[in-house]
Structure 1
Amino acid sequence: MIPIAKPIISDEEIDEVVKVLRSGFIAQGPRVAEFEENFAEYVGVKHAVASSSGTTALHLALLAADIGPGDEVITTPFSFAATGNSILYVGAKPVFVDIDKETYNIDPERIEEAITENTKAIMPVHLYGQPADMDPINKTANNHGLIVIEDAAQAHGATYNGEKTGSLGDMGCFSFYPTKNMTTSEGGMITTNSAEMAEKARVLRAHGESERYTHVVLGYNFRMTDIAAAIGIIQLKKLDKFNEKRIENAKYLTEKIDELNGIKSPYVASNVKHVFHQYTVRIEESNRDNLMEFLKEKGIGTGIHYPKPIYQQKIYQELGFKGFCPEAESASSEVLSLPVHPSLEKSELEEIVSALTEFSKKF
């Protein structure tokens, strides 16, 4: 089976974890601090705050921005549920704005009409590893005094006009889940140039402690361990190499897919570096599931990212969300992600293309 995702863990990561285990200090400690410093430098910001997951990073970022009950946060419905859920966690309301049909990211031209007197922030998602169109998003935010929190969970090392994701808004949030472009097994990170927001996040992630056993606010246990950070330190050193391999694999797939009927390769904006967390093709609804089943029979893993907009999930329906985003709904029925991870061998890429070619002849 050619898997849709495969983390690359070498002896180097294993050795560093063993060092942490032998040190006797395995909770949040010096390795987390080192990882934060390294990640902030990589992204190009002053501060990085590690957390237990990408979801807790989003949660903490919203809290650090003083977003809570009665507030609205504009975001995309075409993302993993954590994007919307994190807004619900703080008691705020996600307001879903439709996507650009080419990039699948939030459509900046639709944001203005969604702003109300309760709007506090915009949370764009850099979906599949391609940055959202941040200049118009930031311009709208500045015009209305809104916070911008980037959901960069899928975009480690991606750039927009030469600047890395995580440095493009007031805060950026990353996930280090095993399927991501780099991993810590589980973990997350907030990046920001705001010392105030960084400090709020640090206090909130550790039970609201300003110092040991002094709890100044109601906080959480959202800390990263030194075990996870040890993996992350090594993975960060390899991230650019991993990304270049993903880009190389994506280029090969696109060149071959563009010769086929009925399958549309991913669009890449001219001013971005797309790091292909996912390589997502588009195929008309009547054939998407057939292609997925066909590839499964050939031993090729696939994924649907995502099968329905967030507002169509059961919990959102029960909460009364009635959004209608036609581009997101259309994409949900037509997208299919193919393997693009850096572990792929050339023979496996050829196998994927061969299967796609065989299927396309049915059109």
Structure 2
Amino acid sequence: MIPIALPLLDATEADAARDAVLSGWVSQGPQVAAFEREFANLVGARHACAVSNCTTALHLALLSLDLAPGDEVITASHSFIASANSIRYCGAVPVFADIDPETYNLDPVSVEAAITDRTRAILVIHQMGMPCDVASLSTLADRHNIVLIEDAACAAGSQIKVNGQWEIIGKPHGAIACFSFHPRKVITTGEGGMLTTSDPDVDRRFRLSRQHAMSVPDTVRHGAQQVIFEDYLFVGYNYRMTDVQAAVGRKQLQRLPELVARRRSIAARYDELLGNIDGLRLPTEPNWAMSNWQSYCVRLPDRLDQKAVMQSLLDQGIATRRGIMCSHREAPYRDQKHQDLRQSELAQDHAILLPIYAQMQDGDVEIVADALKKELCG
């Protein structure tokens, strides 16, 4: 069986987790703090705050805007439903804009058309690890005096060219960037997330919010030579990452360059093997973007049945996934008004994600490509 994805974990991560367990400190502690420092240093962020997953990261990012009922946040329907849900968690309204069919990322023209006097923010998504057009979208946000937040769940290790220089996603290029460490991502802690920001006050709010708004962290209380009583400053949450997860994350972070390099090599090989098939649309990497290739997404000719192709590949031992979901087609958002989302719907209905992971052998890539060719060419 060739799986759709496979995290690269071995004795290195197992030993790190074991050391954390045996240290006696398994909840949020020194490993989390070290992971935050190392992640911030890698992406060039002033602050990084680890949390339990990317959905909680998105929630905290949006809470920092003090959204009021009726406030609007523009985002893509063509994304995992957590993007839209995190807006709803804050009592705000997600407003869906359409995507660019070449990159599967938000189309700045569609975003601008969705802006109203109630718009407070744009939640952009680096879909499948492909950097979105941050330059255009941040200019748009600045012009309308609204905040740009990056859903970088899939984008650890991706890069974008800014003023002629390559920068890793996560600096951030908006006000806040949010990452996921789910097993489907390039690096994993099992579950887990990270927020990065340049604003120390926003970072402080994240750190309070993730731990019930406790005025004195338990790490400080346990190390104090005097008795300390904490206060609870506002309604917070239990969004903490554990030290066991962070210990694994630190080792994964060391692997990130080699993981991205291998994925880029596999994507290039897919390009070679599939590039001359009539009607098959391969993913496009703009000249200002370097994807980590968290996913490799191809668009099938409209004449083919997406599910039938996927089933045929599965029968041959090849796992795939359908195109990224559209939130506006799901029950919580079906009745919500939105503009034309034709490109988002076409991407969901006609695209499939092919297997890609660092341990994938060249022969496996050829097996997948050959099987797909047979489906398309007979």
When the two structures are superposed, what TM-score results if normalisation uses the length of structure 1? 0.96
SS in 1 for 2:322: coil
Instruction: Give the CA deviation at 1:33.
Output: 0.3
Provide the secondary structure at the position in 1 that maps to 2:215.
strand
Deviation by residue 1:263-321 (Cα, 9 ceiling, x = unmatched): 221111111001111000000344122221121111000001324x1111111125x34
Matches within 5 A, 1:340-351: 340-351=356-367
The aligned residue for residue 77 of structure 2 is 77
For residue 321 of structure 2, what is the aligned residue in structure 1? 303
Moved more, 258-267 or 298-307: 258-267
Distance 1:171 1:221 in 2: 20
Residues 65 and 197 of structure 1 are in contact (CA less than 8 Å); yes or no, is this contact kept in structure 2?
Answer: no
Farther-moved stretch of structure 1 (203-212 vs 3-12) = 203-212
Structure 2 counterpart of 1:266: 283
The answer to whether residue 207 in structure 2 is matched with residue 202 in structure 1 is yes
Structure 1 pair 96/322, CA: closer, same or farther in 2 (3 Å)?
closer
**After the TM superposition, which parts of structure 1 deviate over 6 Å for at least 4 consecutive aligned residues?**
none
Q: Which runs of 5+ in 2 are unaligned?
A: 218-229
Residue 335 of structure 1 pairs with residue 340 of structure 2: no
1:111 partner SS: helix
Q: How far apart, in 2, do the equivalents of 1:316 and 1:228 lie?
A: 33
Within 1, Cα distance between the matches of 2:184 and 2:101? 25
Asked whether the equivalents of residues 95 and 338 of structure 2 are also in contact (C-alpha less than 8 Å), the reply is: no
Amino acid in structure 2 at the alignment position of 1:289 = K
Letter in 2 for 1:73: V
Deviations along 1:126-153, whole A, 9 cap, x unmatched?
0011111011111111112211110000
8 A contact 1:265–1:281 mirrored in 2: yes
Residues 119 and 146, structure 2, Cα contact 8 Å, conserved in 1: yes
Deviation at 1:323, TM superposition (A): 4.7
Match of 2:168 among 164, 179, 189: 164
SS in 2 for 1:120: strand
Aligned match of 1:277 = 294
The reply on whether 1:115 has 2:115 as its aligned counterpart is yes
TM-score by length of 2: 0.93
Structure 1 residues 189-233: Cα deviation after superposition (integer angstroms, max 9, x where no partner): 001111111111111110011225311110000000001000100
CA deviations on 1:86-121 (whole Å, 9 max, x unpaired) are 000111111111111111100012222211121111
* SS of the residue 2:321 aligns to: coil
CA contact under 8 A between 1:79 and 1:127: conserved in structure 2?
A: yes
> Which secondary structure state, in structure 2, belongs to the residue aligned with residue 260 of structure 1?
coil
Select between 259-268 and 187-196 the one with higher mean Cα deviation: 259-268
Over the matched positions of the two proteins, sequence identity in percent amounts to 38
The CA distance in 2 between the partners of 1:36 and 1:343, in whole Å, is 27
Matches of 2:113 and 2:373, distance apart in 1? 43
Distance apart, 1:164 and its partner CA:
1.7
Distance in 1 between residues matched to 2:319 and 2:278, nearest whole Å: 21
Q: Would the aligned equivalents of 2:273 and 2:366 in 1 still touch at CA under 8 Å?
A: no
Amino acid at match of 1:269: P
Partner SS state of residue 83, structure 2: helix
- The equivalences for 1:1-363 within 5 A come to 1-161=1-161, 162-166=166-170, 167-212=172-217, 213-287=230-304, 288-307=306-325, 309-317=326-334, 320-362=336-378
Cα contact 2:87–2:93 (8 A) shared by 1: yes
SS in 2 for 1:211: coil
Q: How many residues align?
A: 360
Cα 1:269/1:243, change in 2 over 3 Å: same
**TM-aligned CA deviation for residue 360 of structure 1:** 2.4
Code of the aligned partner of 1:57: A
Q: Secondary structure at the match of 1:357?
A: helix
